[in-house]
Structure 1
Amino acid sequence: MQSNWQQSIFSTRATRDITLAVAVTFLVSMALVLFDVNERFIAAASRHEQWQVDELPLVLLVAYAALTWFSVRRWNESRQEVAARLEAEQKIAQLLAENQRLLRHSLEVQEEEKRSLARELHDELGQYLHAARTESVALRLGSSDKFIGERAKSIEHALTHIQLVARDIISKLRPPALDELGLSAALEQLVLRQCETSVDIQCSFNIAREVDAVGGPVAINAYRIAQECLTNIVRHAHASKVNFMARLAQNCLILEISDNGRGHPVPIVAGFGIAGIRERVDSLDGKLTMHSEPEYGVFVGVSLPLNKTVLKQEVI
């Protein structure tokens, strides 16, 4: 499409230029005839024969031919360079599109592996942990031996701790709320859980319920992006306040996360998990915005475009 448009523009300009050249040639020839320029030139040249002025027209003709040849050569080279540049740009665009597709596929494979691992941990490990804990409780309650009762109670506490850790790992691998309650509830639980890990951080969030319409890769990547940003804040920001916002605008899912921490220069911030965030944003052809200054905290803005394939169908 773009190539046809460029050819049309080139054809229009070429037609205009040749028309102008013909018009100028015609006007000059009429002026030469009207004012007898050639006869006057011959008369003037005969008076200065010693300077060989009469040979000047031929010299000018040869110079004109040489300049024409030079111009045509440069013009052809210019067209070849433009064509080569356009071809290179098309190849770069194709490579970028292919890279984006491969990156998106890689992230989808990772998420599927996490989902599978979470399911196996829940079905297999969870089942045996529950059975072992039940047996330890039965052993503690059914034994009159004080030592055995204490050992059984210790085992019970250890198994309870393992269950909590396993539940947390499963939640990180694949948040149940994302599948069961939708994106808004999953994000809300994520913010609350992350902030609970640090009692010094006060969290405020504004998550529009309309984001529940988002599904597919956009939903899980939005969750992972929010998860990484909040983890960075808890670990590195030394912040006392965190603001989180999620909404839909202009057919995009918008995420905005900010804190009042110590901040960092942007090149340093880029090392705090931002590479993974950028990969997820790029895989969905989104936009990532960052602002950070020392002592003024960090702002991260993400815009992920939506289409019909990532919007959940309404159930009527």
Structure 2
Amino acid sequence: MGTGVASIDWDRRYARVLVVVPWLLLVPSVAINQATPDQAAGVRAGTLALAALAAAWVYGWHTRPRRERWERWWPGAVYMAGLLALCAALMAYDVIYVLFTITAFFHAYQLKPWPLGVAGVLVTSVVLNTMTMGAPEATPASLGGYLGVIIVQSAAIGAGIVFGEKASEQQRRRDEMVARLEAALEENAGLHAQLLTQAREAGVLDERQRMAREIHDTLAQGLAGIITQVQAAQRVWPEPARARPHVDRALALAKESLTEARRSVQALQPRELEEARLPDAVADLARRWSNETGVEPSVEITGEPVPLSPAIEVALFRVAQEALTNVAKHASAARVGLTLSYLGDVVLLDVRDDGVGMRDADSGGFGLNSMRQRIRGIGGAVTVESAPGEGTAVSVSVPMMSVGAP
């Protein structure tokens, strides 16, 4: 941006110089001409009239018009032709007006496109040298000297026009590149702000989903167990000895659910995984589930158990918890099997039952969707196989990442 502003300032200053140059050269020319002795009054008056006409021509075509006029080729060409004609006429009266003729070299720089400017320099050189040196004689030396001066002079001055145009073109390209970069920076700033907003929204959504899963896996399951135990107690309420164990289990479930709810709010892992590793926690989960439902599941651990990363152990434990809860709520199963397999590069969790099954195993409610989200979050996969009357099998596969793994 700074380079572009500096270029604009330089262009404006140079334009002001071009406005002043003809007057700086015309005034001394007129003064010297009019001060020349032994000059006829008619010649002096004619020269002064031509000088006044030249001043009017410069003022009307160059000094006063807006600079944008020079962006078209024809105003500059007309102005330059009139200026050179007046300069030739003035030099015909007095060669001192060669000073004023130099103005055409300066103003040729303003002609557009640049080849027209080079042509203006060439014509100016021809007029200036012809009027000062006279027409060349028809000899090699005279023609060579005449043409040599014009060619060298035109090349030296015209090269400035060519190089100036190339520099201006490079400057325009730099300015365009800077403008594009600034636009890109502004766009990137907008995208960065948008990404930050989306990241915040995604974080809020992730936290909501986490809380929803935790509430489902703790409070909802705990309340379902409490309701089951209270209903069982109601059925045998006239016999306190039979009702009391159900009430005790309901109270224990309420305490557990309250504890788990507090742990969920604090984003802590389940209590069972703080007190034991995953195989023991799954076995303890199965025992407590059996006490609540009266169905004793078979639990099998295969392979060499290794400590897994907390995220994997929490996800597998919650899936086992959800699967057993679904069996208790929907399956009406007589047999349930739970297998945890350590296979070196993956860990498998399978929960099977012989219950009523499902018609569409791919749909599922919040519980199955919560399972899939949890396992997908650690790079694993969940497969549910079921058919009406043929039970249900929930299979989970996750990559094995031990506690010490990078």
Bin of the TM-score, shorter chain as denominator length: 0.3 to 0.5
**TM-score if structure 2 supplies the norm length?**
0.36
Which of structures 1 and 2 has the bigger CA Rg? 2
Higher relative contact order (CA 8 A, sep 6+): 1
Give the TM-score normalised by structure 1. Answer: 0.45
